[in-house]
Structure 1
Amino acid sequence: MADPSSSDSSRTPKPFYGVYLAAGLSSRFGYRIKCLQQVGRCGETLLELSVRQLLNQSVSAIIIIVSDSTYAQIHDVVGDNFLGLPVRYAYQVTPPYRKKPLGTVAALLAAKNLLDEPFIILNGDTLYGDSALEHVCTHIRYKDTPCMPGYPLRDVLPQSGKVNRAVVGIEGSCLTRIVEQYNISMDDIRTGKYTGDELTSMNIFGFQPSILDFAQRKLNAWLKQNPTDDTSEYILSTMLNDLLPEEGTRTYVYGVGNSIPLELTNPEDFAYVRNNLDRVGL
């Protein structure tokens, strides 16, 4: 896969924000906030470890997407300045007719008024590692197009249990399709449904502020088509699937080598994450 991240040294690198999705409570974790779980060797929270890695990439500020259920606890730990970085908060609000939030596009748009610089958006319950972060952060500091890392499917499935993953198609280094697949497990590789080499998204993307108008239009259209749906979600991977055919904007996909992300999905993942921090350079 070609590497489009080589920066244009004639351009001045732009400042950028780190945007964390942290509005949800985890029923699997007893409705605790996963980004505040102390997975570090010295008791650091998952969020602290992730922010420390972003500091290596010269992030200028942190924006955390919260909800009424998560703001107080996160603010108690993080405050308005964290590890020397200014922190801002944006609320994702679930409409009263909904049983579930509207999805990650709505979460991103909750921070629309704060996003006047390029930004990397990340899950609050995942450690992505230096390789993925460096690719994305370098790209958005020098280039005007969206980007994302692509992880081999076999590297992002739990040994037991099922998860959802967006499977990615590329041509050269450019995204051609990205389609959410539901309830995937390692058994799907063992039985041949997937090879395991398929590239997948782990909900980490690099964007310019210009993406926000497109995201708002797409969410508005989705809401118009689904006016009473109380559980379906409109997500970033679905939105990206329309960006090239509708706007002619390419999304670049980076390989991540041997970097394997660590995700805190189930309670049994806690020990695994804590014991494998070296996989993400920690």
Structure 2
Amino acid sequence: MQNKPTLLVLAAGMGSRYGGNKQVDGFGPHGETILEYSIYDAIRAGFGKVVFIVRQEILELAKEKFLPKIEGKIEVDFVLQSITSHVPEEFQNPDRAKPYGTAHAVLCAKDAVKKPFAVINADDFYGKEAFEVIGKFLTNGVQPNLHAMVGYAIQNVLSDNGTVSRGVCEMNASNQLIGMVERTSIAKEGGKIIAKGDGEEIVIPEGTPVSMNFWGFHPAVFTDIEQMWNEFLPANKENIKSEFFIPLVANDLIESGKAAVEVLEGGKTWFGVTYTEDKPVVIESLKKLHELGEYPENLWT
């Protein structure tokens, strides 16, 4: 099918809080990574290509881990993200320790993505329903000025083992994103969901949709991202911790009127590994899904 969308996987993250390369860690009954479930779900939702965005240090490891399982089942490509990717020499800072974040990673994949595409984290389990709704949108609904995001209810995407960062969404009556605020320290306390930061505490109501970084874009977005990136670099040259996030891009598109972002209802099941202590929960959750028949005993045989 000519219009099969592409899956763009953000796998260059450091995994600092987790303490290792969780992108290639095994969680399934046969040592499957979380990402393998996303690729499996994407294939059955009609995706035709997967592009991995990785660091040079884990490129060979990623190829060894994934190619033997998925080659021949979906088209595969690998793209590198580094501190100097798409950064002209005059804006490079030798003190910078890591790349510029998720929108920078998407920009790195510009030459590898020619069709409508979804963006996911490598270390989050999103559920088959999420891939079904985003796959349908990317095949039938996406336009150069209409993108999408899968929304998840805040109470379903917390960790019992510490705070998490989430993009808290505000929507209009048409289920389109008005804006998103990145809350970097959210946890459940005393039966309430509380976001802390800058000396304030905000209670977030249950049911509030948040972004788990599952986006759907028309390739026209690359032009917009590149334009924003060219403004971001000179403004942040001296800030070695500055990051160029997808929510920044989404907010800019909405505020400027260049594009709308539809919030899709498909986020039924999510789990992930922010902390090492999350691993047993993820292993048990995947085991249950296999037992329920959501996935075959072995994904690839």
How many residue pairs align between the two structures?
269
Corresponding residue for residue 181 of structure 1: 183
Corresponding residue for residue 44 of structure 1: 32
Contact 2:153 2:210 in 1 (8 A): yes
Note the residue ranges of structure 2 that are not aligned, 5 or more in a row: 85-93, 195-201, 296-301
Contact 1:147 1:252 in 2 (8 A): yes
**Residue number among 75, 78, 85 corresponding to 1:86 in the alignment:** 75
Alignment of 1:28-67 (within 5 A): 28-31=17-20, 33-67=21-55
Corresponding residue for residue 273 of structure 2: 264
Q: CA offset at residue 59 of structure 1?
A: 1.1
My pick for the range that moved more, 72-81 or 204-213, is 72-81
Q: CA offset at residue 29 of structure 1?
A: 4.0
1:226, 1:90 → 2: CA distance?
Answer: 24
CA 1:242–1:69 in 2, change beyond 3 Å: closer, same or farther? Answer: same
1:178, 1:13 → 2: CA distance?
Answer: 34
SS at match of 1:276: helix
1:190, 1:25 → 2: CA distance?
Answer: 27
SS at match of 2:50: strand
SS at match of 2:226: helix
After TM superposition, the score normalised by the length of structure 1 is 0.89
Contact 2:10 2:122 in 1 (8 A): yes
Contact 2:102 2:245 in 1 (8 A): yes
Contact 1:160 1:185 in 2 (8 A): no
Corresponding residue for residue 126 of structure 2: 128
Q: CA offset at residue 79 of structure 1?
A: 2.9
Matched, 1:20 2:9: yes
Per-residue CA deviations over 1:200-258 (Å, capped at 9, x if unaligned) read: 0000100111000101111221112111110121100111011122143111001236x
The root-mean-square deviation of aligned C-alpha atoms, in Å, is: 2.1
Q: CA offset at residue 61 of structure 1?
A: 1.0
Note the residue ranges of structure 1 that are not aligned, 5 or more in a row: 1-11
Q: CA offset at residue 49 of structure 1?
A: 1.7
Corresponding residue for residue 106 of structure 1: 104
- The share of aligned pairs that are identical, in percent, is 26
**Residue number among 120, 134, 137 corresponding to 2:135 in the alignment:** 137
Per-residue CA deviations over 1:181-212 (Å, capped at 9, x if unaligned) read: 11111128256712222110000100111000
Matched, 1:200 2:210: yes
Q: CA offset at residue 99 of structure 1?
A: 2.2
1:165, 1:246 → 2: CA distance?
Answer: 23
Corresponding residue for residue 230 of structure 2: 220
1:138, 1:67 → 2: CA distance?
Answer: 31
Letter in 2 for 1:25: M
1:39, 1:236 → 2: CA distance?
Answer: 27
Corresponding residue for residue 72 of structure 1: 60
SS at match of 1:69: helix
2:50, 2:193 → 1: CA distance?
Answer: 40
1:190, 1:262 → 2: CA distance?
Answer: 17
**Residue number among 258, 264, 284 corresponding to 1:254 in the alignment:** 264
Contact 1:179 1:241 in 2 (8 A): no
SS at match of 1:150: strand
Letter in 2 for 1:176: I
2:224, 2:289 → 1: CA distance?
Answer: 35
